[in-house]
Amino acid sequence: MMNGMKSFLAAAAVSALSLSAATAQETPQSGGTLVVVVPGGTPRVLNPAVQSGVATGLPGTQLFASPLRYDADWTPQPYLAKSWEVAEDGLSVTLHLQENATFHDGEPITSEDVAFSVDVIKEYHPFKSMFAPVTSVDTPDEHTAVLNLAHPHPALMLAMSGQLMAIIPKHIYGDGQDPKNHPRNNEDVVGSGPFKLVEFKPGEHIILERYEGYWEEGLPYLDRIVGRIILDSSARAIALQNGEVHMSTFENEPTVVSRLMQAEGVNVTSQGYGGIGPIDWLAMNTTRGPLQDVKVRQAIAYAVDKNFILKAVMRGTATEAKTGVHPDSPLYNPDVPAYEVDLDKANALLDEAGYPMDGGKRFALTMELPGFPGYKAQTEYVRNALGKVGIEVTLRAHPDFPSWAKAMGTMDFDMSMDSVYNWGDPVIGVNRTYMSDNIGKGVWSNTQGYANARVDALLAEAAQEQDADKRKALYAEFQEIVAEDVPIYFINAVPMHTIYSDKVQNPPMGIWASSSPMDKVWLKE
Amino acid sequence: MSDPSIPLPPVEKARSPLSEAWEMFRRNHSAMAGLVILTFIVLGAIFGPMLYPTDPFDMVWAPFSPPGEEGYLLGTDYLGRDLMAQIIHGARVTLIIGLSAAIVTIVIGVTIGALAGFYRGWVEEVLMRITEFFQVLPTLLFSMVIVALFGATLPMITFAIGIVSWTAVARITRAEFLRIRELEYVTASRAAGAPSGKLMFKVILPNAAPPIIVQSALMVGSAILFEAGLSFLGLTDPNIVSWGQIIGSNRQYILESGYTVTIPGLAIFVTVLAISLVGDGLNDALNPKLRQR
């Protein structure tokens, strides 16, 4: 019996091996046109050096190359930089560029362009923490760039990948015009990436074509990429089902995702979003009324049943998030207080906090209902759940995003659902929510008014810690403290999914989803 | 002189115009059917919440439980809330919005129409230009802007619906005033020294009332539809339940749980149909020319 089991397992292992060997052996076919959906609609500009957001990310990372790329297990890989070294003291990073790399107009890509790009990103990209410690960029020769740092800055590795560090041509953007609104951001784009721009029609499509002078022989495989702009999720689902569109990324509407999981010829995966790191959470304003008391906030966490949201609202498409670091990140600490639903505990904590039940009610709070889709069911659920422990919640509806963003940014709210993206390293996308020097600085800052000296110290130390294990330990402690203080009750990783047809081989499964080069994507006919 | 052998024709008792209208209305079967349905809905809206006290916001059972299962007659929605409770409690809000929006419409419409039709001249010019301005506005868009700007509260939604739908009432009122102000009894009152206010509201308006009443009845129906449209687009107060709002919140689940949308949809359909039937019946009953038929 035991032997039989063993040989069965061995046979299974062998067949699994041969299967993976078979897929690996399959030679990629060149040619073809990949039709994708541009996530989030028309991008403001196609140049990721001056614009964040995944709408810019998809075309931006095809048009412009970054020094590094990341594979699915968070290991940096060579891209425009064929190799790199971090100095022993962590105070400089040296990049060795591909020697035969050229821009789309045939000009060579040099270290001068890297230095110029860093300057532009530092000044114009909204994520200031990425390159803030970079004091200067040395260019000892054409193909070597040295980034000098004021202090060790381990977040730089992730900041040099995906859409975060587009290498842009100095001879185009260095002409004295404002890079943020440069005419060449959307027209006649001269990029450094595997695809060049053919046409950008806002509201309709972005057409990209294979760049013949790309440095890596035989790449990219695709002849063309057509990025279509389809705003309605049901229209996208239909286009995917009838094969009109090959791939769509950042699909997070549970009904659409769960329906397409059943569809023929279409694959659905949640892999590839660790770097983007989007998390849905319940934000609480710790500076107002009863929410100032940590016991009240803990009681709210105990009263909200995360499982209900995961199962009923998210339809099982989302994974639980326990902290502000995305569950796919190597820095995620799952061993923090989880606040399993417990109404008795919630009631006891509220009694302790000095809010006795009086005729079924303890106190009233407001909750924002954002004007964009995706939060209605959660928000209504939280109102009901808190009603059960005597917290009367009134919803405040916002007609659109700016109205909600204003309430959040000026901290004119008690509670709201929110989702915030990690953007790779915590220094880029996590710190902003917890650092006490970033309170109330607009939407997606520390809108909770959360201040904890130990958290500030931990984040400051981790930002400069070069030893990966020590860094992980610092972030682990940070996540524990935040879970104790509950300025935010974390609910789930936003169920972002990539939906692609059987024809699409090698879809972007790194950590940046479609904000990564598609030079190795090919179509099987 | 009178010859007792010839019997006098029986003197028909003079009937009040109201009872005459009621007689007309009663003979109209579809109008009576509409009235019965409407009465039932109104009674349901008033007393339903007492008879069926389940909180429409309360999550009572598993989400998307189809109608009839586990004792939930109309099933549950995406959060497991009782759809029956939502329909019953929503009826009140829906009818209140319909009625109060119609009242807003009548107040604005009758005032403007009466002033324009009575005074004529530059007053009419100005008021009718204003009316035309509101007529050419895209109504749904305009009310969306109002709700988006000033907040999605019940009074604001009512106002937004009223402000875009009064033009028809204003035009009808003006037309009636133009016609009636030239009639002899108006001239007689005027000669007897009746002040303008009295002429307008005591003498002319009661005689102009029938078409306005019909229009107002139909207005309630269209206001309900309007509110449903706004709610469907998400412009609604999330702290209340209305039928349109039930449709709006459940529409993304239409493919797998269609009943969550069709049931409130049917409720709106039946109510608006009933109102229209009553309106049509009123039109026939109050129109003296039709009475000869």
- Ordered per-residue pLDDT tens for chain B, 293 residues: 455 567 766 666 666 777 877 888 888 888 899 999 999 999 988 888 888 888 888 777 777 777 777 677 777 888 888 888 889 988 988 999 899 999 999 999 999 999 998 888 898 899 999 999 998 988 888 888 888 888 788 889 899 999 888 998 999 999 998 888 888 888 888 888 888 888 888 888 888 888 888 888 888 888 888 888 888 887 888 888 889 888 888 877 887 788 888 899 999 999 989 988 888 888 888 776 655 54
Residues 6+ apart with CB under 8 A from B245: B90, B231, B236
**Residue A15 confidence (pLDDT):** 42
Identify the helix (H) or strand (E) that includes residue A283. Answer: strand A278-284
Please, what's the largest Cα pairwise distance for chain A? 78
- Say which range, A231-235, A242-246, A359-363, B162-166, has the weakest mean pLDDT: A231-235
Burial class (CB in 10 A: 0-12, 13-18, 19+), B274: buried
Tens digits of per-residue pLDDT, A163-201? 999 999 999 898 888 888 888 888 889 999 999 999 999
What pTM was computed for the model? 0.81
Would the pLDDT of A24 be above 80? no
Ordered domains of chain A (ranges, CATH): 30-272+497-523 (3.40.190.10), 278-493 (3.10.105.10)
Residues 6+ apart with CB under 8 A from B22: B285
pLDDT class for A14, splitting at 50, 70, 90?
A: very low
Q: Report the phi/psi class of residue A402: left, alpha or beta, with left for phi > 0 and alpha for psi in -120 to 50.
A: alpha
CB contact under 8 A, B78 and A312: yes
Separation in Å, CA of A304 to nearest CA in chain B: 13
Whose tokens are 């009631």? That residue is A347
- Contact at 8 Å (CB) between A433 and A405? no
With contacts defined as CB-CB under 8 Å, which chain B residues touch A377?
78-79, 249
State both tokens at A350: 């509220």
- Contact at 8 Å (CB) between A520 and A342? no
With contacts defined as CB-CB under 8 Å, which chain A residues touch B149?
399
Smallest Cβ–Cβ distance between A380 and the set B79, B149, B256 belongs to: B79
Q: How many CB pairs under 8 A join A and B?
A: 50
Tens digits of per-residue pLDDT, A429-486? 899 999 999 888 888 889 999 999 999 999 999 989 888 899 999 999 999 999 999 9
**Residue B289 confidence (pLDDT):** 63
Distance separating alpha carbons of residues A515 and B183, to the nearest angstrom? 77
Identify the helix (H) or strand (E) that includes residue A408. Answer: helix A401-409
Residues 6+ apart with CB under 8 A from A40: A53, A54, A55, A250
Whose tokens are 């789309």? That residue is A104
With contacts defined as CB-CB under 8 Å, which chain B residues touch A313?
78-79
CA trace torsion B55, B57, B62, B67 (10° rounding): 70
Q: How many CB atoms lie within 10 A of CB B71?
A: 10
Mean local confidence (pLDDT), A372-391: 88
The rounded mean pLDDT for chain A is 88
**Residue B8 confidence (pLDDT):** 67
User: Measured between CB atoms, does B148 come within 8 Å of chain A?
Assistant: yes
**What is the 3-state secondary structure of chain B?**
CCCCCCCCCCCCCCCCHHHHHHHHHHHCHHHHHHHHHHHHHHHHHHHHHHHCCCCCCCECCCCCCCCCHHHCCCCECCCCEEHHHHHHHHHHHHHHHHHHHHHHHHHHHHHHHHHHHHHCHHHHHHHHHHHHHHHHCCHHHHHHHHHHHHCCCHHHHHHHHHHHHCHHHHHHHHHHHHHHCCCHHHHHHHHCCCCHHHHHHHHHHHHHHHHHHHHHHHHHHHHHHHHHHHHHCCCCCCCCCCHHHHHHHHHHHCCCCCHHHHHHHHHHHHHHHHHHHHHHHHHHHHCHHHHCC
- Contact at 8 Å (CB) between A67 and A193? no
Interface test with B, best of A367, A372, A381 (most B CBs within 10 A): A381
CATH code that applies to domain B19-48+74-291: 1.10.3720.10
φ/ψ (deg, to 5) at A269: -140, 150
Which residues on adjacent β-strands are paired with residue A279? A420, A493
Tens digits of per-residue pLDDT, A342-358? 999 999 999 999 999 98
Tens digits of per-residue pLDDT, B9-53? 666 666 677 787 788 888 888 889 999 999 999 998 888 888 888
Least Cα distance to A206 among A191, A180, A222, A224 occurs for A224
**Residue B4 confidence (pLDDT):** 58
pLDDT class for A525, splitting at 50, 70, 90?
A: confident
DSSP codes joined into one string, A145-196 = EEEEESS--TTHHHHTSTTSS----HHHHTSSS-GGG-GGGTSS---SSSEE
Whether the ω angle into residue B206 lies within 30 degrees of 0, i.e. cis, is: no
Distance separating alpha carbons of residues A153 and A149, to the nearest angstrom? 7
Distance separating alpha carbons of residues A489 and A331, to the nearest angstrom? 19
Amino acid at B112: I
Please, what's the largest Cα pairwise distance for chain B? 90
CB contact under 8 A, B236 and A383: no
Mean local confidence (pLDDT), A59-85: 92
User: Measured between CB atoms, does A400 come within 8 Å of chain B?
Assistant: yes
Residue A366 DSSP symbol: E
State both tokens at B118: 């009575």
Would the pLDDT of A18 be above 60? no
With contacts defined as CB-CB under 8 Å, which chain A residues touch B253?
255
User: Measured between CB atoms, does B151 come within 8 Å of chain A?
Assistant: yes
Separation in Å, CA of B40 to nearest CA in chain A: 31
With contacts defined as CB-CB under 8 Å, which chain A residues touch B148?
399-400
- Contact at 8 Å (CB) between A74 and A285? no
Pairs from A5-14 (Cβ < 8 Å, separation ≥ 24) = none
DSSP codes joined into one string, A195-243 = EEEEEEETTTEEEEEE-TT-SSTT----SEEEEE----HHHHHHHHHTT
Distance separating alpha carbons of residues A146 and A144, to the nearest angstrom? 7
Smallest Cβ–Cβ distance between A376 and the set B237, B249, B255 belongs to: B249
Distance separating alpha carbons of residues A210 and A67, to the nearest angstrom? 20
User: Measured between CB atoms, does A253 come within 8 Å of chain B?
Assistant: yes
Whose tokens are 């929006």? That residue is B101
State both tokens at A310: 């995961």
- Contact at 8 Å (CB) between A221 and A231? no
Smallest Cβ–Cβ distance between A312 and the set B58, B80, B147 belongs to: B80
φ/ψ (deg, to 5) at A368: -80, 145
CB contact under 8 A, B78 and A377: yes
